Amino acid sequence: MLICFDVDGTIDCKENDNEEYLKGIIPEDVLVELWKKGHKIAICSPSPYFPDKWKGDNHWFQRNGDGFSRWENIQDAMKHYNITDKDEVIYVDDLRGTLKIVRDVNGIKKVYTPEGFMEEIEELMKNETT
């Protein structure tokens, strides 16, 4: 799976923990574990805050910072990992409105809140993909 993440309100990392509303619940180590299991990881948030260790061309897709570039960032990540099937993509975001757009407009069926994602984590850790 290609797992695309929002950051603020979604991922728990030191870079965004100075403001309560930016704090997320998914420990960044979970991203590392998923990566080790063979999943592809992409940070697709237009936010200036992000887990530093995931910065760089391999994981960080930031088309721009205006807040409306998520789908472009997800598409960049798909291109980078050579994925054309939207069913191979998961998107995780704390904002239900954003999840709805990514699901209903952009056609990514597997969208999760951070809480919902953490409930699936055991399954994802089991199902190693290449």
Interaction of residue 51 with Mg ion, rule CB under 5 A: no
Binds Mg ion (CB under 5 A): choice among 8, 40, 46, 92: 8
Q: Tell me which stretch binds Mg ion (CB under 5 A): 6-14, 79-87, 103-111, 114-122.
A: 6-14
Residue with tokens 């721009």: 64
Closest residue by beta carbon to Mg ion: 9
CB of 11 to Mg ion, least distance (A): 9
Q: What gap in Å lies between CA 100 and CA 102, rounded to an integer?
A: 6
**What string of H, E and C letters represents the secondary structure of 42-79?**
EECCCCCCCCHHHCCCCCECCCCCCCCCHHHHHHHHHH
Contact 26, 12 (CB under 8 A): yes
Interaction of residue 9 with Mg ion, rule CB under 5 A: yes
CB of 29 to Mg ion, least distance (A): 19
Q: Which of residues 91-130 bind Mg ion (CB under 5 A)?
A: 94
CB of 21 to Mg ion, least distance (A): 9
